[in-house]
Amino acid sequence: MELNQKIRSFIESQLVVFEDEAKFEDDDNIFEMGFVNSLFAMQLLEYIESEFSVTVDNDDLDIKNFSTVNNISALVNRKVG
Amino acid sequence: MSHILDLTQEERQAQIVAGAERFAEEQIGPRAREFDEAGVLADDLIQDMAARGYLTANLPTEYGGLGLDPVYYGLFQQAIGKADCATRTLITVHSALCGESLLRWGNEEQKELWLPRMAKGESLAAFALSEPNVGTDAKSVETCYRKVGDTYVLNGNKKWISFGDKADLFVVIAGNDQGQVSAFLVERDFPGVTTRPLKGMLAGRATHIAMIEFDNVEVPVANLVGKEGGGFKYVVSTALDHGRYSIAWAGVSIAQEAVDHMVSYARQRKQFGKRLAEFQLIKGLIADATTETHAARALCLKAGEMRKNKAQDAVMETTMAKYFASKVAMKVATDCVQVHGGNGCISDYPAERLFREAKMLEIIEGTSQIQQEIISGYALRKYSKACKR
């Protein structure tokens, strides 16, 4: 599965709104759209670390790195690369 | 020494938990009432626990911990919590909330400085999140900070901070005027930090619950935990996730202790010339209490296994375990009081203390109602047939 699609699937599995309300593009800020609950950031971190076998360091913790599908994808590519 | 090295990880951890069970039964349980009535958790007990590595049993051995995995750490907390809720609260706050947050988000310098001290009991840590106006809506903290040169200056008040009146290290959550929420390590002896114990508590009377005031407290930049702006999303989320896991086991421990007392009393107490345990309605209470306690423990063990394996839904399973086990603790403790009758309403028997302590579990680390919100959100997505293509 393409990286963006993989990340998108995970995000969609965690949304707290109904599918027809949860439309977002790969550049949309998922935190600002209110689609996720307070546990999401941590679940996302754990997903990234376990799914891609990388360690997210303190230096990576800029919320921008996790705010959109494209940004998460870029972070994973940096960590894996 | 060599025989210890020969043990498998499982055997080593099982031995630690078995030792903790003995210690709790012999050294903690008999003092639980004394702690509750005096409103003090004894220093000699804290130091004794530190010497055994119990204060940070969950942390890696390189930092002075015992290296228990989530399952054994849960069983360890069950042992301590069964003996005394206040002592278990110390474990929750010190090792689960603060220890795990520092381990995950602290930098190497912070970890090397504080974690060994916390393990040895040289420093006790408390997690300062709740405020007079901020409970469940934790990201709206009013305690504020601003950066001035090489320091952050903190102002504000925290409330309901367990061990706030005893700890000498606080993980403090505060926000700035940019809407960022950050976490800081604040030492008790920083100028401008004052604490005031909260009296008249329903429960947690020996947990040194306090108000903490920060009046222009200057905190070195080096004491920022994680990145600026990551205080809520990462540090608080991590802390509360570990806190919920700890409270889930606290629920099992109170429920099991209540079952033990309920059964013991029902076997010994006679009315109408018969033991209470011979009456079918009492048997019904015992059967339900036992079944529900076993179910709560099974859910906690499942959550523990998932945490150990870093399973994707471990956070949700933990949330469910916390919600369910705290509810079971309340119900079983209530029935324990009921079986004791009048004797359940006086501190001569442990039933009333268990009843009071159980209620707290439905409030702390996220109320039962906020857990229901989160669990229902998960269920509405996961179990919808329309979503399962």
Q: How much is the average pLDDT of B145-174? A: 97
Q: Which chain B residue lies closest to A59 (C-alpha atoms)?
A: B227
Tell whether the model's pLDDT for residue B186 goes beyond 90. yes
Residue to mutate among B233, B240, B365, with most A CBs inside 10 A, is B233
Q: Flag whether B298 is in a domain.
A: yes
Residues B55, B70, single domain; the answer is yes
Q: Flag whether B388 is in a domain.
A: no
Name the token pair of B43: 């220093």
Q: Residue A8 belongs to a domain with what CATH number?
A: 1.10.1200.10
Look at strands B181-187 and B224-225 and give their pairing.
antiparallel
Tell me if B315 and A42 make a contact (CB, 8 A cut-off): yes
CA angle B316, B322, B327 (to 5 degrees): 130
Residue to mutate among A7, A16, A39, with most B CBs inside 10 A, is A39
Q: In this predicted structure, what is the pLDDT of residue B336?
A: 98
Q: pLDDT for B304-352, tens place per residue? A: 999 999 998 999 999 999 999 999 999 999 999 999 999 999 999 999 9
Residue B333 DSSP SS3 = helix
Domain boundary among B229, B260, B281: B229
Q: Flag whether B345 is in a domain.
A: yes
Using 50, 70 and 90 to split pLDDT, how confident is the model at B389?
very low
Chain B contacts in chain A segment 15-54 (CB below 8 A)? 15-16, 18-19, 37-39, 41-43, 45-47, 49-50
Q: Beta-strand (E) ranges in B35-166? A: 125-128, 144-148, 151-161
Of A15, A18, A63, the CB nearest to B229: A63
Domain boundary among B101, B124, B147: B124
Q: In this predicted structure, what is the pLDDT of residue A1?
A: 66
Tell me if A38 and B139 make a contact (CB, 8 A cut-off): yes
Q: pLDDT for B282-317, tens place per residue? A: 999 999 999 999 999 999 999 999 999 999 899 999
Tell me if A15 and B381 make a contact (CB, 8 A cut-off): yes
Query: Where in the sequence is the domain holding A36, given as residue range(s)?
Result: 3-18+25-80
| Sign of torsion over alpha carbons B75, B71, A56, B379 | negative
Size of interface A-B (CB pairs under 8 A): 58
Domain boundary among B176, B195, B229: B229
Closest-CA distance, A81 to chain B, in angstroms, reads 23
Residues B31, B153, single domain; the answer is no
Q: Flag whether B387 is in a domain.
A: no
Q: In this predicted structure, what is the pLDDT of residue B3?
A: 57
Residues B245, B319, single domain; the answer is yes
CA-CA distances (angstroms) from residue B261 to A14, A27, A28, A58, B306?
42, 58, 56, 48, 32
Residues B101, B175, single domain; the answer is no
Tell me if B226 and A61 make a contact (CB, 8 A cut-off): yes
Q: In this predicted structure, what is the pLDDT of residue B386?
A: 63
Domains in chain B, number = 3
Residues B147, B76, single domain; the answer is no
Tell me if B226 and A42 make a contact (CB, 8 A cut-off): no
Alpha helices in B121-236 (DSSP H): none
Query: Where in the sequence is the domain holding B43, given as residue range(s)?
Result: 2-124
Tell whether the model's pLDDT for residue B138 goes beyond 90. no
Instruction: Name the residue type at position A60.
Output: D
Check B228, B292, B352, B365 and give the catalytic one: B365
Q: pLDDT for B97-123, tens place per residue? A: 999 999 999 999 999 999 999 999 999
Tell whether the model's pLDDT for residue A21 goes beyond 80. no
Q: pLDDT for B192-246, tens place per residue? A: 999 999 999 999 999 999 999 999 999 999 999 999 988 888 899 999 999 999 9
Residues B287, B176, single domain; the answer is no
B103 neighbors B171 (Cβ within 8 angstroms): no
Residues B60, B139, single domain; the answer is no
Q: Flag whether B209 is in a domain.
A: yes
Q: Residue B149 belongs to a domain with what CATH number?
A: 2.40.110.10
Residues B104, B178, single domain; the answer is no
Residues B28, B17, single domain; the answer is yes
Q: How far apart are CA B135 and CA B297, in angstroms?
A: 28
Neighbours of A63 (CB within 10 A): 16
Residues B295, B168, single domain; the answer is no
Tell whether the model's pLDDT for residue A75 goes beyond 90. yes
Domains in chain A, number = 1
Residues B224, B295, single domain; the answer is no
Tell me if B374 and A19 make a contact (CB, 8 A cut-off): no
User: What DSSP string runs through B199-228?
Assistant: PS-SS-TTS--EEEEEEEEEEEGGGEESST
Residues B29, B118, single domain; the answer is yes
Residue to mutate among B102, B107, B111, B312, with most A CBs inside 10 A, is B312
Q: How many residues does chain B have?
A: 389
Q: Flag whether B373 is in a domain.
A: yes
Q: Flag whether B326 is in a domain.
A: yes
Q: Flag whether B386 is in a domain.
A: no
Which value does ipTM take for this structure? 0.80
Q: Give the least confident one: B183-197, B202-216, B265-279, B371-385.
A: B371-385
More confident residue, A79 or B25: B25
B108 is catalytic: no
CA-CA distances (angstroms) from residue B319 to B243, B354, B373, B384?
10, 22, 11, 20
Q: Residue B104 belongs to a domain with what CATH number?
A: 1.10.540.10
